[in-house]
Structures are given as structure tokens and as C-alpha cells.
């Protein structure tokens, strides 16, 4: 090895084991609990920590990092060029097929592309299936490869400008659906490819609704990347609203809804930044925009509607770390009016975060059980939910610990 090469921490099992032990003890976690979280025996954990076993493979290292709630993988491995996000979920079995479809281009095929109208009907069907299914990632993961390939082909084969723009609008929304599937999975570069391609296709379509949806998802990608990206998230949101604002007096319901969703998105980012007044101000404006929508209207991509504003209020309070206000807003929100199963599950997770902030861990676990009932795949990929469950698996209260362990087993955090 060159003297300038980066040392490989995996060749030093004692160093890895010592780091693992320090992090485990810092969490106040027993070897028994860590072993259960990573599917190993307590004696295996002891032997790794004592240097009797070599450092495990990368898959097991990642499980250990998540169980110990490590934000920087270097803290565990000693390798400074590696990082881990706590809120990343497992890789879905259909992720490889979706990635292959995104990364391929139908340049040499002689197959005729479906019409934009045909693709639009398939896309609407896919959104409906996503909202109805408890295993929504499985459902859309099955549909996406064909949709991506056909939408790309439709853009390439379009003959007239209007036909080309219509195909671009469909392709942009196909990428939007893809982003819902890819989010919180272990392929961050794929998430950004999907978000950026969706934004480009939307701009080329010159369709206000497509542009708004792509901007909404791009802002989320920035916001979920951490504080260093909050300004970029705001910039995307502000620019999209500037573009849509002149259209709003006579806007269709979908365009008004995406503008409302973007307005709330600005409040969401402000809340995560800790700016209380700005966050609630954006929520108020978004609520006014929701009030202009028909009573039963529900935007198929963002879930923006009159019904969702109660859930959005819970999110703002939770992101501001206001426990009592989170619980108060949860009491006012009516989750039964949210028709989308994954969005209803997401709301339950936000409620659970609020109860946790308010010092009500038993209610938080019960609320996460309701999230699981609504959409198991939502809670399985949600880092906030997993963090709460992992904390309560170590509770000193026996009944709480038992219920948390049961839920952890159901979502795959503990071996059955």
C-alpha cells in the first residue's frame, strides 16, 4: 500500500470493535438489544467488540450504524470518506428494475411509442393504486419500469411540437412518481437523477402543473438533504410560486393545488429551520388556498386538499419541536378524511413524533401501530418511526418495551 493511501479500517478489527462498543455504551444499549437489531447473537457482538472476530461486511456495518443511530459512518468505521443517513430505509426488491429503467434510453428500438393520452391514463391508474395500496412501493415499483421506458420513447418519437410538449409533461410526472418510490432508499444519486430529469422534462413541457409538481419534489429533495440545502429548497419554491402566481386567479384545481402545496412546502422548510412565524404564516396562506378547492378535491401527487391542512399543522408543530402544540393539532386533525393510505400513515407517524415530544411514548407507539395498519411500507421506510421504535425497544417499562419490540418485529427491525 502506498504511504499516501487511505488506511482501510476493516483490516483493524479491534479498532472497529472498540468504536462499536463506545457507541453502543454511549447509547446505553445492551449487547442483547444490539444483537437483536442486527440479527446476530449477543456473543457475536461481544467477540466483535473484543477483536476476536474481524469487522463484518458492509451490509452488517450499515445495520449496526442504523441501530446505533450513527449519523456519520466514520464514527463507526474510522473511514472519513463514508457517511450514512439515519433515515434511509432498506432497498426495495424492485429498486434495481426501476434504476435500470431510469438509466436506460430506448435509442435503437423500432417499437412504436404509446400516445400521451394512453400514458396519461396509465399514470392516473398508477397514482390511484399508490394511494389505495398498503404495499404502495411494491405496486408502483411493478408499474414504473414500463411507464418510464414508454414515456421516454414517446418523447423521442414525438413529431409535432404540441405532441412533444405533451409527452414531456407525462414524462415529468412519471419521474415524479418514481421519486416517491426511490425516496428513503439507499440510492441517493438515483433520487437526484430522477428529481433533476423531472424538472427538465417539466420545463420543456411548458405545462404549469408539471412545472409545479417537479419543483415541489425538487424542493423536498433539497430539504431532506439537510440544513445546508434549505436555501436551495427555498429558492426552488420561491421561483416556482413566482412562475405560477399570475395564473392563480383563473387557475384549474390542479394548478391551484400545486401552488398551495408549494406554499406549505416553504412553511415546512421554515419550520425545520426553526422559524416559527414564517412557518405558520405559510401554513395560513396554504390553508386559504386549500379553501378555494372543492370540498372533496384531493391532489393526486401532493395530497394537497382541505383535508390535509390539519395534518400539515401537526407537521409544522413537530418540526418546531413544540410537543404540546403538536398534540393539540393532532387532536384537531381528522386522519379519516385523508383518502391516501400512505399519506394517512405518514400523518400517523407525525402524530407519533408529537406524542413523543410531549412525553407520551405509550401513545406514540400506539399511534405507530395505526400507521402500520394504514400502510406498512410507509413506516418501514420512515426513519422517524424507526427511531422512536428503536428508542422504546430499550425502555425500562416492560409493557412499552414489549409493544415496541412487537412493532419492530413486524416492520423488520428485529428478527422474529
Supply φ then ψ for residue 351, to 5 degrees: -60, -40
d(CA 220, CA 136): 20
Cell match 401532493: residue? 302
Residues 43-73: tens digit of each pLDDT: 999 999 988 888 888 778 877 887 777 766 7
- Tell me the domain boundaries of the chain: 9-77, 92-186+193-206
Contacts of residue 156, Cβ cutoff 8 Å, sequence gap at least 6: 106, 107, 113
Cell of 309: 391542512
Residues 170-191: tens digit of each pLDDT: 999 999 999 999 998 878 889 9
pLDDT above 60: residue 254? yes
pLDDT of residue 335: 78
d(CA 386, CA 89): 9
Which H or E run includes 368?
helix 361-374
Q: Is the Cα torsion angle 398, 400, 401, 402 positive or negative in sign?
A: positive
C-alpha Rg value of the chain to the nearest Å: 23
Q: Is the Cα torsion angle 34, 37, 38, 40 positive or negative in sign?
A: positive
Global confidence as pTM: 0.81
Residues 271-281: tens digit of each pLDDT: 999 999 999 99
d(CA 218, CA 125): 23
For the chain, the distance separating the N- and C-terminal CA atoms, rounded to the nearest angstrom, is 43
- Nearest one of 230, 233, 221, 146 to 183, comparing CA atoms: 221
Phi/psi region, residue 299 (left: phi>0; alpha: psi -120 to 50; beta: rest), is beta
Residues 374-388: tens digit of each pLDDT: 999 999 988 889 888
pLDDT above 60: residue 77? yes
Supply φ then ψ for residue 163, to 5 degrees: -65, -40
CB burial readout 130-153, b (16+ within 10 A) else e: bbebbebbebbbebbbebbbbbbb
Residue 278 half-sphere exposure toward CB, CA atoms < 13 A = 13
d(CA 108, CA 131): 35
Cell of 412: 423488520
Q: Quick check: 361 and 337 in contact, CB under 8 A?
A: no
Helix/strand/coil for 226: coil
Other C-beta atoms closer than 10 Å to the C-beta of 350 total 27
Residues 108-118: tens digit of each pLDDT: 778 899 999 99
Write down the CATH superfamily of domain 9-77.
lambda repressor-like DNA-binding domains (1.10.260.40)
Amino acid at each position: 500500500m502506498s504511504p499516501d493511501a487511505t488506511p482501510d479500517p476493516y483490516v483493524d478489527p479491534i479498532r472497529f470493535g472498540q468504536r462499536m462498543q463506545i457507541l453502543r455504551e454511549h447509547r446505553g444499549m445492551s449487547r442483547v438489544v444490539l444483537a437483536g437489531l442486527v440479527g446476530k447473537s449477543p456473543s457475536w457482538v461481544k467477540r466483535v467488540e473484543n477483536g476476536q472476530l474481524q469487522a463484518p461486511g458492509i451490509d452488517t456495518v450499515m445495520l449496526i450504524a442504523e441501530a446505533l443511530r450513527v449519523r456519520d459512518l466514520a464514527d463507526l468505521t474510522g473511514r472519513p470518506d463514508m457517511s450514512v443517513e439515519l433515515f434511509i430505509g432498506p432497498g426495495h426488491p424492485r429498486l434495481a428494475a426501476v434504476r435500470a429503467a431510469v438509466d436506460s434510453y430506448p435509442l435503437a428500438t423500432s417499437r412504436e411509442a404509446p400516445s400521451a393520452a394512453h400514458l396519461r391514463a396509465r399514470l392516473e391508474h398508477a397514482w390511484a393504486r399508490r394511494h389505495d395500496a398498503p404495499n404502495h412501493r411494491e405496486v408502483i415499483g411493478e408499474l414504473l419500469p414500463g411507464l418510464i421506458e414508454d414515456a421516454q420513447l414517446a418523447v423521442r418519437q414525438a413529431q409535432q411540437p404540441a405532441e412533444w410538449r405533451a409527452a414531456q409533461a407525462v414524462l415529468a410526472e412519471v419521474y415524479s412518481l418514481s421519486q416517491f418510490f426511490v425516496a428513503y432508499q439507499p440510492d441517493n444519486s438515483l433520487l437526484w437523477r430522477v428529481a433533476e430529469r423531472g424538472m427538465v422534462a417539466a420545463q420543456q413541457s411548458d405545462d404549469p402543473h408539471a412545472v409545479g409538481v417537479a419543483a415541489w419534489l425538487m424542493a423536498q429533495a433539497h430539504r431532506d438533504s439537510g440544513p445546508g440545502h434549505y436555501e436551495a429548497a427555498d429558492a426552488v419554491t420561491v421561483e416556482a410560486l413566482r412562475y405560477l402566481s399570475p395564473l392563480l386567479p383563473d387557475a384549474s384545481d390542479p394548478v391551484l393545488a400545486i401552488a398551495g402545496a408549494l406554499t406549505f412546502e416553504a412553511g415546512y422548510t421554515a419550520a425545520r429551520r426553526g422559524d416559527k412565524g414564517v412557518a405558520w404564516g405559510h401554513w395560513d396562506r396554504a390553508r386559504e388556498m386549500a379553501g378555494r378547492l372543492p370540498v372533496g378535491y384531493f391532489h393526486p401527487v401532493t395530497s394537497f386538499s382541505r383535508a390535509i391542512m390539519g395534518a400539515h399543522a401537526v407537521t409544522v408543530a413537530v418540526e418546531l419541536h413544540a410537543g404540546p402544540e403538536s398534540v393539540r393539532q393532532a387532536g384537531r386533525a381528522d386522519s379519516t378524511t385523508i383518502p391516501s393510505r400512505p399519506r394517512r400513515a405518514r400523518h400517523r407517524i407525525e402524530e407519533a413524533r408529537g406524542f413523543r415530544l410531549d412525553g407520551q411514548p405509550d401513545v406514540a407507539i400506539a399511534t405507530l401501530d395505526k400507521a402500520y395498519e394504514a400502510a406498512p411500507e410507509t413506516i418501514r421506510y420512515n426513519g422517524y418511526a424507526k427511531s422512536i421504535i428503536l428508542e422504546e425497544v430499550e425502555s425500562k417499562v416492560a409493557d412499552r418495551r414489549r409493544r415496541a419490540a412487537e412493532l419492530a418485529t413486524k416492520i423488520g427491525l428485529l428478527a422474529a
